[in-house]
Structure 1
């Protein structure tokens, strides 16, 4: 009965036009991690997308929680942070239903969240593993071309950047960007003092992710 009720709600949202065709929301998760980090990053990415790839995204993103039905109104969820991540079983089930229903989740490791996130993703998709995307994946050749794959924005441990994904029937439903820190590159220039060419790479890659997610 619970599953039928949720399915009915999803169908109602889609049928009523309440689903926002081109919108981004920030995911507020539990566990004590700083889900709110990089406060200027998503507004800056939205501004860049609206100016360069023809989107009309609300410049002020909403905040949603993983267990809420509100996530079904947004085709794109963004998640970031440095530390612990925790999903209840109900939240994991809600996220799984969201992703299977056509939603997209981008998780950008702001440094230190990877071990906690991978543990929690096992609740969301216990039968799937993160897979590394090759440089030939179409997410790297949307409006902007990245022939070598994910760009390196911040050094952190000096490891190579990785784009890891979860696929459902060939569709990329979740993207985890690791050892890259795109969100830091999206922030206001004064926050990290990144060179402009580095910021542009981060914004362009972010725009590719948004464009790919809205098309898929």
Structure 2
């Protein structure tokens, strides 16, 4: 059972998320918070596996809350919930340690799949959010460093990560097993020094391997 903490200042949003998660046999909502302070306190009490974190909240926002949650419990997976016009919060949330980004108006199946992917160690993100995040990173950082030595297959996997594909989608496109893709992604993280999959996507764009 995946234990979930919902963090959003809007009661209706939390109610909708609770109903959606409650309908899934493998998900359990163990708490709700209306702001970042409550989220930090609740994490210590209810020990969630995944935190669905709104980024814009009064008081302590989702970015600061993400940093404090992960500072206390690094194993927690924080999945940021964002709106279409929330670009200013995306890159800071990534830097704070968010493992993925989903827009609030995602399809229910996409949101549930994102929670499961986050719990499994993946970095789920809505493709439009990834494109905007990568574009912002490119503007902030400019051209990236030279790529380390890698195999032709690793370059293919890096390009597909940059395009926003999940491990399963990459496996189907390359006609290999998901475990093989996970091995390549782990190797890419180690070779590039990127802390997570989203930074790999930024690197792919900087290297011209994926659309920015």
- Relative contact order: is structure 1 or structure 2 higher (C-alpha 8 Å, sep ≥ 6)? 1
> Does TM-score exceed 0.5, indicating one fold?
no
More helix by share: 2
Q: What is the TM-score of this pair, normalised by structure 2? A: 0.41
